[in-house]
Amino acid sequence: MSKNKSASKVDLKPLDELLAKGNDQNELSIFNTLEKQKDVTIEVPLSMIDDFPNHPFKVINDESMQELVQSIKEYGLINPAIVRKKEDGRYELVSGHRRKMACELAGLTTMKVTVRELDRDEATIIMVDSNMQREQILPSEKAFAYKMKLDALNSRGKRNDLTLCPIGTKLHSAYLIAKNTGDSTRQVFRYIRLTELIPEILEMVDQKQIGFQPAVELSYLTRQEQLDLLETMQSEERTPSLAQAQRMKRLSADGRLNIDVIFSIMTEEKPNEKEKIVIPRKSIEAYIPKGLSRNKEVEYVTKALEYYQRYLQRQREKSFER
């Protein structure tokens, strides 16, 4: 009996492991065309170089950028950027958006680039891969980068007539993305879900005001439901926990989520807030001077309560004296 039972067990493998057993040689061969033999390195006017369309990575003039600017002033641009020639004769930047800004800030008018023959999908794959080497990547950057690369891989898979169904192609594309990152295939899909969030909520994820897992659940809400949630979060100064986000997702799927339900969920007492007192803003804003910052408002209310406590104490002392 024990032998039969063990023989009947299903060997459940992780999704990544199952995908890895596919015809990797067939899928991975799509990268072979990325290595072109006709690369040419030249100097191109910065005014002739256009940014990559919908570039998902932010280019910021921060301390790191200033260090790069100084390096370019002293030694020039060591590593050429990668561009592709456009039909109108201009160039499209594939890899090197930070280097381009640094050259502009350094006062240069031209930039050393490697011109590579690439189609849109090939350029997208290189653009994403080159930027994923950054030390710090925001959730929104990773989300849109993964989505762009997934779409590019799917598109190339269809053009190469891979013997995979659409769902299979999508899974294998996500698997290929995961192989080059520290994320699992499922995590790649979770990041891509973030692209369904409205910009204001996605910004809160980048600022770590909303956790990654709750954000994934919130991505299933409709745009109007997300707008209602945003309004509630702003008015009540609260963000949803994972459990609250999951409840809203279920209610949304059932068509039972509206702004009143969202307010009810968001204003309920969380386990870690049992000692907190929630006062509706409308009930006290008439007594708070206008123009105060949020921190100053809290300080003002706290001092008002202290003064009131002292007033009550004096009243009690007077009553005893009588």
Structure confidence at residue 235 (pLDDT): 93
Domain range list for the chain:
33-136, 137-194, 197-269
> Given pLDDT bands bounded at 50, 70 and 90, which one contains residue 178?
confident
Cα distance between residue 93 and residue 48, in whole Å: 10
CB 22 within 8 A of CB 167: no
| 81 three-state secondary structure | strand
Cα distance between residue 209 and residue 239, in whole Å: 7
Encode pLDDT of 4-25 as tens digits.
444 444 444 555 554 454 444 4
DSSP 245-268: HHHHHHHHHTT---HHHHHHHHTS
DSSP 49-92: EEPPTT--S----SHHHHHHHHHHHHH--SS-EEEEE-TTS-EE
| 107 three-state secondary structure | coil
**pTM, rounded to two decimals:** 0.69
Whether residue 133 is predicted with pLDDT greater than 90 in this model: the reply is no
Structure confidence at residue 276 (pLDDT): 57
Whether residue 181 is predicted with pLDDT greater than 70 in this model: the reply is yes
Domain 33-136 sits in CATH at 3.90.1530.30
Whether residue 3 is predicted with pLDDT greater than 50 in this model: the reply is no
CB 164 within 8 A of CB 144: no
Under DSSP, the state recorded for 10 is: -
In single-letter form, the type of residue at position 215 comes to: A
> Given pLDDT bands bounded at 50, 70 and 90, which one contains residue 173?
confident
Encode pLDDT of 189-228 as tens digits.
999 999 999 999 999 999 999 999 999 999 999 999 999 9
- Report the pLDDT averaged over residues 114-139: 92
Torsion over CA: 279, 280, 281, 285 (sign): negative
Burial of 269 (0-12, 13-18, 19+ CB in 10 A): exposed
Distances in Å between the Cα of 13 and the Cα atoms of 10, 51, 115, 164, 169 are: 9, 42, 44, 20, 19
Unique residue bearing structure tokens 């063990």? 6
CB 144 within 8 A of CB 64: no
57: nearest Cα among 105, 93, 97? 97
Encode pLDDT of 273-316 as tens digits.
555 566 666 677 778 887 777 677 778 888 888 888 888 877 77
- Report the pLDDT averaged over residues 145-150: 94
Mean pLDDT rounded to a whole number for the chain: 83
Cα distance between residue 171 and residue 100, in whole Å: 35
Structure confidence at residue 7 (pLDDT): 43
In single-letter form, the type of residue at position 266 comes to: M
Under DSSP, the state recorded for 208 is: T
